[in-house]
Amino acid sequence: MSGIQIKNYHFKATLIPSVITAILLYTMISLGYWQLDRADYKANLQTLIESKQASPSIALSDIAKEEINWLYQPVYARGKFDQKHQILFDNQVHNMVAGYSVFTPLKLTDDSAILVNRGWLPLGGKRKELPDITIENDEIRINGLVAHAPSKILLLSKNVNSYQKWPAVLQYIDLQEIQKELNYSLLPMIIIMDQKEQTVLEPLPVKINMRSAKHTAYAFQWYGLSLTLFIIYIVVNTKKIKV
């Protein structure tokens, strides 16, 4: 009798179920490790956000070139908003209310430009009627945090953004794509305005969408499923020997 025998129990498994089980176990354990890695990344990122927000503002032109040093750095910048080319970033939910985040290019005094998240506003009564986001183009000083542009979501079409009219209602923010429509270059970062007195819109707090604790919980779920699968594999392939 082949297999493994321990006292009155005999374990014997066929090849194909064993291979399938091994593949599933490897996949689930790998997903658990990946979730733990994401948890560690999110914890470090949240610490970075909190420490940077407590630091004093510096001029945008003085930020360090290395991303680890400029990410979430409080800055101030002077320039004029490009009132003709504003963006309504769609499907932004705040306090369970659908709305837009308003992005406006700021032409800086050194002839460069940066995209600015001026804040959030609710969708309104009718989707076809866009909200009034008119803004003056006088030279101003703004304060905010330097950050990455919002990451792209999973898209069902390659060309979902339309720039046929302004303000443009966009499903994702792609700086390279936007600057082609503007015909001038944008810095590879954005400013998130965070001071209510500087904008008529509602500045949203900079936060991580999914905290590290949730990733840790997902990791233990994967490990739990792995243990369950392993136990089922052992039980199904183990039989008691009749004496």
Mean pLDDT of the chain: 85
Each residue's pLDDT tens digit, 149-162: 887 765 655 557 77
* pLDDT band (50, 70, 90) for residue 1: very low
Residue 212 pLDDT > 80, yes or no?
no
Q: Give the list of residues 6+ apart from residue 74 with CB closer than 8 angstroms, or none.
A: 52, 53, 55, 56, 57, 58, 143, 144, 145, 194
* Domain range summary for the chain, segments of one domain joined by +: 1-56+220-243, 73-198
* Count, residues in the chain: 243
- What is d(CA 192, CA 41) in angstroms, rounded to the nearest whole number? 22
> For the residues 2-8, what does the mean pLDDT come to?
71
> Of 170, 182, 183, 192, which is closest to residue 87 (Cα–Cα)?
170
Pairing between strand 87-94 and 97-108?
A: antiparallel
- The DSSP bridge partners found for residue 198 are none
- What is d(CA 165, CA 168) in angstroms, rounded to the nearest whole number? 6
- What is d(CA 10, CA 2) in angstroms, rounded to the nearest whole number? 9
Each residue's pLDDT tens digit, 55-79: 788 999 888 777 777 888 899 999 9
